[in-house]
Structure 1
Amino acid sequence: MSPEASGERSVAAGWIGTAVTGDVIGLPAEILNAARDVQAPPGLTNLPPPPLCLGREAELARLHEVGDTAIMQASTVHGLGGIGKTTLALAYAHRYRHAYGVVWWINADSPTRIEQSLAELTRRLLLGLTADRDRVAWAMAWLQWHPGWLLVFDNVEAVADLSPYLGALGGGRHLVTSRRAVGWPRSMRTLALGILDAEQAVELIRATAYGDAELTVRELQDLRALAAELGYLPLALDQAGAYLRQNPTVTVAAYHRRLPTKLDKAADGLDAERTIARIWTQTLDALTVRDPRAVELLRTLAWLAPDEVPVGLLEADGVDPDELAEALGHLAAYSMATVTRDTVGVHRLVQQVLRVNAPAGRREAEQAVVRALDGLDPEAGEWDSLIPQLIALAESRPVGHDDGAVTDLYRRAGWRLDTQGRLARATALLEAVLAQREQSLGELHPDTLATRNNLACAYRAAGDLGRAVPLSEAVLAQCERVFGELHPHTLTSRNNLADAYQLAGDLGRAVPLWETVLGQCEQVLGELHPDTLLIRSNLACVYQTAADPGRAVPLLETVLAQRERVLGELHRDTLTSWQYLADAYRAAGDPGRAVSLLETVLAWRERVLGELHPDTLGTRDSLAGALRAAGDPGRAVPLSETVLAQREQVLGELHPQTLTSRNNLACAYLSSGDAGRAVLLFELVLAQREQVLSALHPHTLLSRGNLAQSYAEAGDPARAVPLLEAVLAQREQVLGEQHPDTLISRQGLASACAMTGRPDRAVPLLEAVAAQYERTLGGTHPTTVAVRNHLARARREAGTG
């Protein structure tokens, strides 16, 4: 039965694939016939020059997938302004331009601009039409007659703007870019574009700013820090690279320091309207028209953590939950926020732009956090989810700002992080508390001094020794002035400064300072006071760090005997002394003795403290390391796996001790010959330590060195060499030339150089290491002998020995 239609301008058909209704522009038959007969010149295109598009191979492949030919061939790339949608579409169009008869780029931010772009296609194909309206109609007719084209609609603001084209033009391919994440026809494929990964981001800035020029390790570090601050956002990375290229006297570090003032500056050759700040301003203008509440909400979110802000935090009294949900929906629709059922996230660079342009949002954010934490127990789980919000507020605290309402929350959050072994995350919190106490109590008030001391400890935990050491020195001088030379607070400060010197590799100052502290504790507290015994134990450990077992072992034996006499055989501190002594035996080259002693200590700790006490887990980890050093991977690997699982259960995934166990398990895999599993685990530990500690924390440097070694042992020494060079330079910078860890890096680099056929590079490195070990360990120490043998082999291979 045939369909019927009635009424003015009605349409009837037996089958309709896509129907477009509305006004139709009429053209003379001869002109429409020309649309059928005119052939495009080969390779007709109006594409802008090809862009630098790094790290998007997977996305390009997805765009090129061939879909069901029975439906419209259309794809939408959506995402945050500056995420690289235009770059991806342009790279795709250039890469596959030969697969299409015509490739036409359309500026699609308004209906008028779309029509102008289509009119230009007519001008390129046909002479004689003068009205843009006629040119658009002719271009549409031409595209209908000639399949096999690609139309790229760039920067679509409203889905409805494409309706006249997507439905009417079915003989080719449509590629759309838009900030809009929702509202697209179901038949369209959508691709949500994310940020680049860290290495691709660094490469984009480097290639844009410096081309093929060689960069120093420090310059690469600065690029990594800048890329992280830019949130790995392609347009921001490109903008930064272009600025650095145009201003070669500006260093990466200087650009980073002045970043908020640079987000609206375009270098020559870049579109001034395509800076990060201006693109997002345009989005905010559109959002303000659509939903002003969404913009207000975004200005509050700008001052909170960039990821996983609890939705409940935004639920103030008097706020309609449905209105809040709609506002969040509009932010997600414009790709200005990532919204789930429970959390919200905003790109950190969006936050920076908003903080500069809308500082009033900070007060709303502060009130939201205070309201959410009101009356909560600091040990409750809710506190942990809100600590990142307090950190964000502390980090953005304006100079001189009165944080009285939240200072106590900062202090309690810092305490909470300290009890979790995550003091490194508390630096911004303690900085805010210190500023408030200096302002309200004065520079030398005991509470101010205590906070300053805690902040120095946090810097030390974070590996920020450039700030930890001078602050510890200042605290000691102030305690001496306020309390006197021998007050317990002063002795604690002196101990903390010695600890900072040790971590910084400055053993020349750490050892005599600890010896001084020990003498003062003996004078004030007595030879056998528990605090005196603790300082004596610390001094023995620093002797061990200095690779001086001749002084470390006897002093640890003395401390053990004294603790047994004063505290008892099974006291917690006595058991700690047993473990330290076992670790010293292992470091002195006697792992068999260490294993025997640690097995005894482990049995005692299991009996006294329990299977899962942190001290018990520490002994179990030390025993696994001693077994590994004794050449018994069959026992070391399963024990390391057990310790890691137990620490994950008791302490959590990212606790520093858990990361230590994960590192040690990777070492066990490596020593057992399973380099493949070792590499994967070392890569994970490195990423986690960079997140929890810092890029230059000694433990992070250890993980980076271990990863490089695992590359070498996995048969990829060429990949190991540049990483080892970076670690060596970083350890020389952070720890000093002669620190034991620096020597290990120098030796590892020498081994990798020899493996890559460069024994000439290995020889001078090994000569320096051998000389240092002979001075510190002696000529007969197993480590010294091993390095000397390695040096002799390298000399033979280099033809110099």
Structure 2
Amino acid sequence: MTLPAEAVRWAQELSAPPGAGNLPGSASGVFVGRMDELTRLRTLLTDKGEAAVTQGTRTRAIHGLGGIGKTTLALHYAHTYRHDYTLVWWIAAETTEQIVTGLAALAMRLCPQWATTTGVQERAAWAILWLQWHPGWLLVFDNVERPADLRHYLGALPDGHHLATSRKAAGWHTIAPTMPLDLLDADASEDLLCTLALGKEHTPTPRQRLQAQALAAELGYLPLALEQAGAYLYETGTDLGHYPALLGRVLDTATEGVDPQRTIARIWQHTLTAIATRDPLAVTVLNVLAWLAPDDIPRTLLTPLAPDPVTLGEALGVLHAYNMISFTADRQNVSVHRLVQTVLRHGPTTEADTYPPGRQEAEHLARQAIPDQDSATTQWERLLPHLFALATTTTPHWPASTQTADIYEKAAEYLYRRGRDAHTIPLRTVTLAQYEQILGDTHPHTLTSRNNLAHAYQAAGNLGRAISLYEATVAEYEQILGDTHPDTLASRNSLAGAYRSAGDLKRAIALYETALAQYEQVLGDTHPDTLISRNDLAVAYRSVGDLGRAIPLFEATLAQREQVLGDTHPHTLASRNDLAVAYRSGGDLGRAIPLFEATLAQREQVLGDTHPHTLASRNDLALAYRSAGDLEGAIPLFEATLAQREQVLGDTHPHTLISRNNLALAYRSAGDLGRAISLFEATLAQREQVLGDTHPDTLISRNNLAGSYMSVGDLGRGIALYEATLAQYEQVLGDTHPHTLISRNNLALAYRSAGDLGRAISLFEATLAQREQVLGDTHPDTLISRNNLASARRAVQAIQPSATKAVPQAPSTAD
């Protein structure tokens, strides 16, 4: 992301005020039984206690059971050592969006004169730049759900300390060393209970100590359970010995461990009874909070629950007194512990209850909070986590509501228009379920919803789910609306696109050709939907290597889009980019590079710097530079694009994996084989996990990794991987697909490198014949095959080197 020069200068020149930070609370509360962990954490972060916080990155992750005190330990560490850091910044990190928002808030704190005039992504980029210029800070990433979300930030920010908390123990081995946090020991639990229940000023009697010991064991030594019990006992004046009787018997002590959720549920039920006695509205508010995202719940969202702000404030105050909620520093947002939410969501209900307590009210608040305008970005971004929470906790047992479905649909459309369609799956899933229940399985709204969900799965790289949904939707459209209805044609075109993405080009092209003929007949030759279909067919021709048909079709479509839609319409830009890709595929870099450069400039201006289509253009331009041998231009562009895709799309999104693969290719071209192989291996592992073992992109990664093994002289691994990949290409894409031919050519090169000239020449001859037939006599790949065959035939004693043709990846922009 390119920032204005003035903003870059401020990032370099502005310093943080002494003691700067945003810690969510003070360290003045009770902190019992964690001094050893605090000391260990300091040792781990500073490398055996050395106070050299500016000598490179130190990263540690605290993981453990929910409610075990991870956040409390991190907060106490931050307060204890805050004066050893230039800045201490706390970031809610359950999602990538929250991390970006947290970084953006740093820009607002340090450079408000600029940050108030720009968007969240730009503010976050500025914050990263500032942290790079000013070492010695501490970043705390609280409640990380996906450890891989931190990879980019740890790599980009080497000159400070990173501290993460997470409920997850798995997934950290390649990210950061971990520090598991266990239950409190018996003595510490007893001390904590006595202090909270009796007050710091009171010395417990021997009898009270014994009662505290028994109750601590009953509560399973879980810090959150101990804190909640202590707050209830202190508030109500209940005797320590009476509390176990209120709870009832604990789980069977003969079983291994303790079920903390059930223990907490018993505690909280009595706490809720006490809260209801003081303020019944507080219980209503807490039940509503149970269905929203746990963090950053705006007080303004809750306003309709009370007749006035004072009454709402009193109810929140009661909840805060019982440690059921916490406030942000400005007290404008509320957070509730996830275990509190879990217990409340699964609380007892009667047969007469249509919805669980608080659920219907939460949906009503969400409907009222939907922004009137799509441009209300700040309002949307604050509301989205709560809409996702509502969507993911919906069950089919509750009555469906078109009003609720509509809010999920509006949120999904907001994300779609910003190129974040892969993130809409939870929203679109519940929307479809609601429409199916209310309108029926074949209602036009239901069919549109099903098609949209398929598109979201396709954007996320889950082609199996996408194709299944598309096929069902096409069949229903044909039955309900007819074979040539525009919605039927659009669905058919989308299905063809999914086939193409999955590498099933034969079915894709046949379906595209059928759809285009029908579009031309029904809508006319220059209708925007006809142009989409024509462009998509050209992409399919290009994918199969038929540039003779692809390039004229791209050129015709571009000319028609310029005339019908205008020069900078997103669809016109897509055509321009796709035509440039076709020129590059045909080896015409003289025409391809200027077209890529022009399209990228227009996309940056029209769509913004981090829109997925802009990122695709940037990636394609870097590929063109690499093809032209301009590695100095290609590598920085690949690196920047990868960083932006990781931030915008996520670490394992298919397009992020494409960027990672392409960067590895560029490193290999530059002779940096160590970095190339490491990146190829990581990308292959991620593609196997995300896309599957035989997805075309997975095969590309496997082919490229094999080539890298060959480059470092590891012929055994290289040839074995080439052979396995070629067999998979032949099975998945067919015997004459361009990628199959590349794989066959590379295997022949490997045989030649190993001195097996007989097999090499035989394979070169077969590949050349197939390329002449499929790609034409003068296609660049055909010329490579002819050159390789000639070189192998000339070889007598020594093996003559020849450049291996790697498989470039360039995702064409979908209309």
TM-score by length of 2: 0.55
1:666-709 residue CA offsets vs partner (Å, 9 max, x unmatched): 46xxxxxxxxxxxxx65x74475347xxx5x4225435656877
For the residues of structure 1 that align with 2:50 and 2:560, how far apart are their CA atoms? 78
Q: Which of 293, 304, 324 is residue 305 of structure 1 equivalent to?
A: 293
Q: Which of 254, 259, 268 is residue 275 of structure 1 equivalent to?
A: 259
1:261-296 residue CA offsets vs partner (Å, 9 max, x unmatched): xxx99998622xx22312422552574476456665
1:749 aligns with 2:705: yes
Contact 1:570–1:604 at 8 Å: present in 2 too? yes
How much does 1:726 deviate? 2.0
1:81 aligns with 2:42: no
Q: 1:582 to 1:371 in 2, by over 3 A?
A: closer
Tell me the residue number matched to 2:551.
Answer: 553
Tell me the residue number matched to 2:736.
Answer: 775
Tell me the residue number matched to 2:585.
Answer: 587
Tell me the residue number matched to 1:453.
Answer: 451
Tell me the residue number matched to 1:187.
Answer: none
1:742-775 residue CA offsets vs partner (Å, 9 max, x unmatched): 2321123324555787532221222355675983
Map 1:111-130 → 2, pairs under 5 A:
none
Map 1:248-647 → 2, pairs under 5 A:
270-271=256-257, 274-285=258-269, 287-288=271-272, 291-292=275-276, 296-315=284-303, 316-318=305-307, 320-330=311-321, 333=323, 339-340=328-329, 341-348=331-338, 350-357=340-347, 359-373=356-370, 376-380=372-376, 381-399=378-396, 400-560=398-558, 576-599=574-597, 622-636=620-634, 640=637
How much does 1:301 deviate? 1.8
Q: 1:489 to 1:337 in 2, by over 3 A?
A: same
For the residues of structure 2 that align with 1:158 and 1:755, how far apart are their CA atoms? 68
How much does 1:715 deviate? 3.2
For the residues of structure 1 that align with 2:610 and 2:500, how far apart are their CA atoms? 28
Structure index of larger Rg? 1
For the residues of structure 1 that align with 2:542 and 2:649, how far apart are their CA atoms? 25
How much does 1:794 deviate? 6.3
Matched residue type, 1:715? G
For the residues of structure 2 that align with 1:85 and 1:577, how far apart are their CA atoms? 50
Q: 1:314 to 1:62 in 2, by over 3 A?
A: farther
How much does 1:471 deviate? 1.6
How much does 1:502 deviate? 2.2
For the residues of structure 2 that align with 1:566 and 1:687, how far apart are their CA atoms? 35
Map 1:8-47 → 2, pairs under 5 A:
none
Greater CA drift, 385-394 or 58-67: 58-67
Greater CA drift, 586-595 or 465-474: 586-595
Question: RCO greater where, 1 or 2, for CA within 8 Å and sep 6 or more?
Answer: 2
For the residues of structure 2 that align with 1:430 and 1:534, how far apart are their CA atoms? 24
For the residues of structure 2 that align with 1:435 and 1:510, how far apart are their CA atoms? 29
Matched residue type, 1:317? A
For the residues of structure 2 that align with 1:393 and 1:412, how far apart are their CA atoms? 14
Matched residue type, 1:414? A
Contact 2:222–2:260 at 8 Å: present in 1 too? no
Matched residue type, 1:356? H
Greater CA drift, 465-474 or 399-408: 399-408
Matched residue type, 1:426? T
Tell me the residue number matched to 1:654.
Answer: none
For the residues of structure 1 that align with 2:388 and 2:346, how far apart are their CA atoms? 19
Tell me the residue number matched to 1:10.
Answer: none
Q: Secondary structure at the match of 1:715?
A: helix
Matched residue type, 1:354? L
Tell me the residue number matched to 1:121.
Answer: none
Tell me the residue number matched to 1:160.
Answer: 199
How much does 1:575 deviate? 5.5
Q: Secondary structure at the match of 1:397?
A: coil
1:495-534 residue CA offsets vs partner (Å, 9 max, x unmatched): 1111222233333322221122122223334445443332
1:698 aligns with 2:654: yes
Q: Secondary structure at the match of 1:344?
A: strand
Q: Secondary structure at the match of 2:461?
A: coil
For the residues of structure 2 that align with 1:435 and 1:322, how far apart are their CA atoms? 37
Q: Secondary structure at the match of 2:295?
A: coil
Q: Secondary structure at the match of 1:357?
A: coil
Q: Secondary structure at the match of 2:424?
A: helix
For the residues of structure 2 that align with 1:283 and 1:544, how far apart are their CA atoms? 64
Tell me the residue number matched to 1:96.
Answer: none
Q: 1:752 to 1:329 in 2, by over 3 A?
A: farther
Q: Secondary structure at the match of 1:733?
A: coil
For the residues of structure 1 that align with 2:688 and 2:570, how far apart are their CA atoms? 40
Q: Which of 715, 718, 733 is residue 674 of structure 2 equivalent to?
A: 715
Q: 1:278 to 1:295 in 2, by over 3 A?
A: farther
Q: Secondary structure at the match of 1:314?
A: helix
Corresponding pairs, count: 544
Q: Secondary structure at the match of 1:345?
A: strand
- The percent of aligned pairs where both chains have the same amino acid is 37
Tell me the residue number matched to 1:674.
Answer: none
For the residues of structure 1 that align with 2:725 and 2:267, how far apart are their CA atoms? 58
For the residues of structure 1 that align with 2:525 and 2:422, how far apart are their CA atoms? 34
How much does 1:728 deviate? 4.8
How much does 1:66 deviate? 12
Contact 2:722–2:746 at 8 Å: present in 1 too? no
For the residues of structure 2 that align with 1:613 and 1:720, how far apart are their CA atoms? 23
Contact 1:291–1:327 at 8 Å: present in 2 too? yes
Contact 1:750–1:766 at 8 Å: present in 2 too? yes
Q: Secondary structure at the match of 1:775?
A: coil
1:201-257 residue CA offsets vs partner (Å, 9 max, x unmatched): xxxxxxxxxxxxxxxxxxxxxxxxxxxxxxxxxxxxxxxxxxxxxxxxxxxxxxxxx
For the residues of structure 2 that align with 1:430 and 1:758, how far apart are their CA atoms? 47
Matched residue type, 1:775? T
1:57-113 residue CA offsets vs partner (Å, 9 max, x unmatched): 55877999799xxxxxxxxx9996235799999xxxxxxxxxxxxxx9644545xxx
Q: 1:267 to 1:402 in 2, by over 3 A?
A: farther
For the residues of structure 1 that align with 2:710 and 2:659, how far apart are their CA atoms? 22
How much does 1:309 deviate? 1.9
Contact 1:424–1:461 at 8 Å: present in 2 too? yes
Q: 1:382 to 1:585 in 2, by over 3 A?
A: same
How much does 1:447 deviate? 2.5
For the residues of structure 2 that align with 1:487 and 1:753, how far apart are their CA atoms? 52
For the residues of structure 2 that align with 1:63 and 1:562, how far apart are their CA atoms? 64
